[in-house]
């Protein structure tokens, strides 16, 4: 990797959480000189020595590589923003403690930290997910506090990266959205992302409010898709239909598509749940709450899947969870992450514990975080020790290691072969063949519907291949 490529803007990144660190490392990998800043001295020291404070596949290697080039630096001194041409704001916008609104105090604090040092023409770029109208407010704040006044411009470039795919989503995003107030800002942003743009990434250049709204709308749509299929799972449960086959059948319709149509325990994490709530809250403030009132139902469907999972486990425990030994496989809100924010798996584990069950949790990466937030639960160091003696096994985060486990080997370790697959991650037939009672959300108990064979002998005319008449064949052949 070469050192800094000349005549490129110098970049600062404010906030070294998940988003900021990924952004800083990826921009340094693209050849920019980057200084990433944070108030957290421990985090900065750890990053300086090449250690990531969270888990993300591939990122530790890229961090160490970019540190070696000298292009990437970490600092707690916000005056370093005085040297930057472009400053990315990558601080968190969590849910407020007392309402569903977004808590913007990290963003306000970031502006207050950097503004006094901005005595030169530069571009400040917000990446965090924010309520519509925030960028305009921050722009006024920034320009009134910065010595350079209106020479300091503000743009909004929402980030769509998924945990577990952070590098690919940053270096090869599906699209780039630039909310700008001038041609100059647009040119600067195009320069920062010249490489993905040259590789064909589409750019949507727009105003600040549209850019903010794209992110809220995208996450709301994704959450709605997940809750839609999970609502169908509820209907399947009442009818004996199979939600997996239903989702597959829907996915072949190119107007619907198969992405985010995986039924199960539903969505969690630091983004989708809080983003739909903050969006609904902001829409109500703007007097258009009725337009997104469906998001409340999206949230409610999602929460119901957690209770339904507890109910299914209770059924397997013959209606009483008291002292029942349950192995919970998974703690992270999704695989390939150690993030436990609003993790459905841990929420279910907590509910089971509160109902009197003896819950043991195992997760390949998220155990330290889980232990800190849920000290009341028990934790096992391995998959085998988690399931040992269990009366019900609940797979709640679909890590590959759980998919690969041999049902016969697990079966020899448990007290009773009861398994609830909260993520449709396991081979139901293989578990049933190994003597397990396999249950999942939205699919009937028993063999998967796809495997059902006709039980009655059928007339030959029903099993003969149908050959089109020659005169019609050309009409129905694809041209
Ligand atoms: C999400 C958005 O995808 C991303 O664009 C945005 O920048 C941040 O929020 P992330 O929270 O990392 O990303 O995870 P994502 O992969 O979207 O999954 C969110 C949750 O939905 C997980 O709990 C996952 O298990 C669940 N999910 C996802 C489903 O239940 N079914 C699906 O089909 C897809």
Atom of ligand 1 nearest to the CA of 344: 23
DSSP state of 151: G
CB 161 within 8 A of CB 169: yes
**Quick one: what percent of the chain has pLDDT higher than 90?**
91
Average pLDDT over residues 331-335: 98
413: which 2 tokens? 């370790």
Instruction: Give the residue ranges of DSSP H helices in 36-133.
Output: 41-48, 59-69, 105-114
For residue range 165-186, what is the model confidence (pLDDT) as tens digits? 999 999 999 999 999 999 999 9
139: which 2 tokens? 């722009």
Which residue in this structure is represented by tokens 């490392």?
25
How high is the pLDDT of residue 479?
Answer: 43
How high is the pLDDT of residue 463?
Answer: 77
For residue range 83-130, what is the model confidence (pLDDT) as tens digits? 999 999 999 999 999 899 999 999 999 999 999 999 999 999 999 999
Atom of ligand 1 nearest to the CA of 225: 33
For residue range 208-264, what is the model confidence (pLDDT) as tens digits? 999 999 999 999 999 999 999 999 999 999 999 999 999 999 999 999 999 999 999
Atom of ligand 1 nearest to the CA of 335: 25
Residue 376: CA count within 13 A, CB half-sphere: 12
CB 443 within 8 A of CB 243: yes
Select from 267, 301, 344 the residue to mutate for testing ligand 1; criterion: most ligand atoms less than 8 Å from CB: 267
Q: Is 329 left (phi over 0), alpha (psi -120 to 50) or beta?
A: beta
Average pLDDT over residues 320-339: 97
Select from 90, 127, 226 the residue to mutate for testing ligand 1; criterion: most ligand atoms less than 8 Å from CB: 226
Output the CA 162–ligand 1 centroid distance in Å. 7
Examine the pLDDT at 12 and tell me if it is beyond 50.
Answer: yes
43: which 2 tokens? 């985090």
Domains of the chain from N-terminus onward: 11-206 (3.40.50.720), 207-451 (3.40.50.720)
Which residues lie across from 13 on neighbouring strands? 36, 88
Q: Whose CA is nearest to atom 3 of ligand 1?
A: 162
Distance between CA atoms of 15 and 23, rounded to whole angstroms? 10
Q: 259-262 long-range CB contacts below 8 Å, 24 or more apart?
A: 259/225, 260/222, 260/225, 260/226, 261/225, 261/226, 261/228, 261/229, 262/226, 262/229, 262/423, 262/424
Which residues does a 6 A CB cutoff place in the pocket of ligand 1?
159-163, 219, 222, 226, 260-262, 264, 266-269, 271-272, 333-334
Output the CA 180–ligand 1 centroid distance in Å. 28
pTM attached to this predicted model? 0.93
Q: Whose CA is nearest to atom 7 of ligand 1?
A: 160
Q: Whose CA is nearest to atom 21 of ligand 1?
A: 267
Examine the pLDDT at 452 and tell me if it is beyond 80.
Answer: no
458: which 2 tokens? 């059928």
SS3 259: coil
Distance between CA atoms of 207 and 121, rounded to whole angstroms? 20
410 band by pLDDT with thresholds 50, 70 and 90? very high
112: which 2 tokens? 């207050």
Select from 331, 334, 348 the residue to mutate for testing ligand 1; criterion: most ligand atoms less than 8 Å from CB: 334
Q: Which residues are known catalytic residues?
A: 271
- Residues 6+ positions from 7 with CB-CB distance below 8 Å: none
């Amino acid at each position: 990797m070469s050192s800094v490529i000349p005549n490129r803007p110098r970049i600062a990144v404010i906030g070294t959480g998940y988003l900021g660190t990924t952004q800083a490392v990826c921009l340094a990998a693209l050849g920019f000189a980057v200084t990433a800043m944070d108030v957290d001295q421990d985090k900065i020291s750890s990053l300086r020595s090449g250690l990531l404070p969270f888990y993300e596949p591939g990122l530790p290697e890229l961090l160490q590589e970019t540190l070696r080039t000298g292009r990437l630096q970490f600092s707690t001194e916000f005056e370093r923003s005085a040297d930057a041409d472009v400053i990315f704001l990558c601080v968190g916008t969590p849910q407020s403690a007392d309402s569903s609104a977004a808590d913007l105090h990290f963003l306000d604090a970031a502006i207050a930290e950097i503004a006094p040092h901005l005595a030169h023409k530069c571009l400040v770029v917000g990446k965090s997910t924010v309520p519509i109208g925030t960028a305009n407010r921050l722009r006024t704040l920034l320009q009134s506090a910065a010595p350079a006044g209106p020479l300091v411009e503000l743009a909004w470039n929402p980030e769509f990266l998924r945990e577990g795919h952070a590098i690919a989503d940053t270096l090869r995003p599906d699209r780039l959205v630039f909310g700008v107030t001038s041609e100059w800002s647009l040119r600067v942003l195009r320069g920062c992302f010249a490489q993905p743009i040259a590789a064909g990434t589409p750019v949507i250049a727009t105003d600040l409010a549209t850019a903010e709204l794209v992110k809220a709308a995208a996450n709301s749509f994704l959450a709605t898709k997940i809750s839609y299929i999970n609502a169908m799972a509820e209907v399947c449960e009442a009818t004996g239909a199979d939600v997996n086959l239903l989702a597959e059948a829907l996915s072949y319709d190119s107007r619907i598509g198969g992405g985010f149509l995986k039924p199960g325990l539903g969505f969690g994490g630091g983004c989708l749940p809080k983003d739909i709530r903050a969006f609904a809250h902001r829409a109500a403030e703007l007097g258009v709450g009725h337009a997104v009132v469906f998001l409340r139902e999206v949230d409610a469907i999602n929460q119901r899947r957690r209770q339904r999972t507890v109910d299914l486990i209770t059924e397997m425990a013959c209606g009483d969870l008291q002292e029942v030994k349950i192995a919970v496989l998974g703690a992270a809100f999704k695989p390939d992450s150690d993030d436990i924010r609003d993790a459905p798996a841990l929420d279910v584990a907590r509910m089971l514990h509160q109902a009197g069950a003896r819950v043991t949790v195992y997760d390949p990466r998220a155990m330290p975080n889980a232990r800190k937030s849920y000290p009341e639960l028990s934790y096992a160091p391995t998959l085998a020790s988690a399931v040992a003696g269990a009366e019900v096994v609940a797979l709640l985060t679909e890590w590959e290691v759980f998919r690969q486990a041999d049902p016969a080997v697990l079966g020899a370790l448990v007290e009773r072969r009861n398994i609830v697959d909260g993520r449709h991650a396991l081979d139901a037939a293989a578990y049933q063949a190994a003597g397990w009672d396999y249950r999942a959300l939205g699919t009937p108990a028993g063999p998967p519907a796809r495997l059902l064979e006709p039980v009655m002998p059928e007339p030959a005319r029903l099993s003969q291949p149908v050959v089109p008449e020659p005169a019609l064949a050309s009409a129905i052949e694809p041209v």
